[in-house]
């Protein structure tokens, strides 16, 4: 079992999964970014950057034939209850 805290976990624990044995089930949990800020001198915000990185990480895993389940939690406490029900089924 490995764990990576994002964004950009594929630059740390994900290197093992991209180049190592083709095994694993990946759960990606994303959520509300709260107060968003513009990235200076760029046409996107920090929330957009983080979302793009999460999507990119999921795409890389999927392109390597690895299963990825994505959960978008807009409200953390309610989201945790939803995750608990999903894992229990």
pLDDT tens string for the chain (89 positions)? 566 666 555 555 666 666 677 778 888 888 877 789 999 999 999 989 888 888 888 888 888 888 888 888 887 777 888 888 887 87
CB 58 within 8 A of CB 6: no
Instruction: Answer yes or no: is 72 within a domain.
Output: yes
Domain count within the chain: 1
Instruction: Answer yes or no: is 76 within a domain.
Output: yes
Instruction: Answer yes or no: is 5 within a domain.
Output: no
| Domain region containing 70 | 26-88
Instruction: Answer yes or no: is 67 within a domain.
Output: yes
Instruction: Answer yes or no: is 60 within a domain.
Output: yes
| Of 76, 53, 72, nearest in space to 4 by CA | 53
Instruction: Answer yes or no: is 32 within a domain.
Output: yes
Instruction: Answer yes or no: is 61 within a domain.
Output: yes
Instruction: Answer yes or no: is 38 within a domain.
Output: yes
DSSP 3-state of 89:
coil
DSSP 3-state of 13:
helix
């Amino acid at each position: 079992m490995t764990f990576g805290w994002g964004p950009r976990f594929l630059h740390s624990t994900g290197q093992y999964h991209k180049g190592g044995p083709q095994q694993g089930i990946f759960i990606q949990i994303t959520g509300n970014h709260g107060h968003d800020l513009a990235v200076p001198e760029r046409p996107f915000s920090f929330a957009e950057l983080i979302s793009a990185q999460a999507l990119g990480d999921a795409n890389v895993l999927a392109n390597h034939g690895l299963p990825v389940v994505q959960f978008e939690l807009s409200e953390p406490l309610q989201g945790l209850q939803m995750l608990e029900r999903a894992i229990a089924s």
